[in-house]
Amino acid sequence: MSTDVGGATELWLLWKRANEVVRADVVGDMTTQTGLSEPDLSVMVQLSDAGGMLRQSAIAARLGWDRTRLSHLLTRMEARGHVARTRVTNGVEITLRPAGQRVVEASLPGLEASARRHILDKLGDDDAKALRRILDRLLSGDA
Partner DNA sequence: GAAGATTGATCGATCAATCTTT
Partner DNA sequence: AAAGATTGATCGATCAATCTTC
74 touches 43 (CB < 8 A): yes
What residues contact 63, with CB distance under 8 A and at least 6 apart?
Answer: 42, 43, 46, 70
Residues of span 25-44 touching a copy of itself by CB under 8 A: 26, 42
> Does the footprint of DNA cover residue 74 (CB under 7 A)?
yes
Of 31 and 33, the one with the shorter C-beta distance to DNA is 31
| Stretch of 67-75, 103-111, 122-130, 132-140 lying at the interface with DNA (CB under 7 A) | 67-75
| Stretch of 12-20, 68-76, 85-93 lying at the interface with a copy of itself (CB under 8 A) | 12-20
CA distance 87 to 84: 10
Residue 3, SS3?
coil
> Does the footprint of a copy of itself cover residue 19 (CB under 8 A)?
yes
CA distance 54 to 48: 9
Q: How far is CA 89 from CA 19, 68, 143, in A?
A: 39, 20, 36
The amino acid at 35: G
Closest CA to 104 of 4, 33, 55, 54: 33
> Does the footprint of DNA cover residue 33 (CB under 7 A)?
no
Candidates 16, 69, 117, 133; binder of DNA (CB under 7 A) is: 69
Smallest gap from Cβ 137 to a copy of itself, in A, equals 6
Residues of span 80-99 touching DNA by CB under 7 A: 85, 87, 89-92
Summarize as ranges the residues that interact with a copy of itself (CB under 8 A).
Answer: 1-3, 5-9, 11-23, 26, 42, 45, 48-52, 63-64, 104-105, 108, 111-123, 127-128, 130-140, 142-143
